[in-house]
Homo-oligomer: A and B are copies of this chain.
């Protein structure tokens, strides 16, 4: 319909940048889980990535209001950017609590969940990168299916983790702390699925 007018490609760069920041945050969170002695530096790193994510989201909003023709509906671009930002916010909130609540020992479930989140974030990024080229078969759908699968796995893991926590006979205050950290981590995984849904909405309109 608007084939002659070149579509704005800067949005793809912004989306890729935001996805890369998301992957870095999830990577730092899994890094913290695997190297808990240096937790402070991972928490700082995540905090800094959270600011970068905000800044990219803000630049996108400005660009949306200055651009007449956008590659997808502007509310879909905005939703996608906001959902990516949401994941980073959850990671930041969870990571901060580990130091704030003076958690000294991690649980196996926690480590497992940070890995699920990291895998899901990479699939998100791969799907976002492929939005540039929707005409040819490009494997986006496979990635979305896998993100949904990881969300289910995260959900099951979280249920098992909380059930175990409640049976553990631990101090109730420690139980409360872990409940909150588990729930925030699971929510980060859930929100990767929200991104998958936002991408799916774009696919439905543009393929």
Give me the interface of A with B, judged by CB distance under 8 Å.
Answer: 61-62, 65, 96, 100-102, 159, 162-163, 166, 172-173, 175-177, 179, 201, 204-205
Contact = CB atoms under 8 A, between A and B. Distances in A.
A177 B100 CA distance: 20
A20 to B, nearest CB: 24
Copies of this protein chain in the complex? 3
Contacts of A62: 204
Nearest to A170: B173
Contacts of A61: 201, 204
Given A159-B96, A204-B65, A205-B65, A175 B173 contact: yes
Contact of A166 (B101, B162, B179): B101
Contacts of A176: 166, 172, 175-176, 179
A101 B173 contact: no
Given A175-B173, A176-B166, A100 B205 contact: no
Contacts of A100: 159, 162-163
20 contacts: A61-B204, A62-B204, A65-B204, A65-B205, A96-B159, A100-B159, A100-B163, A101-B163, A101-B166, A102-B163, A166-B173, A166-B176, A166-B177, A172-B172, A172-B175, A172-B176, A173-B175, A175-B176, A176-B176, A176-B179
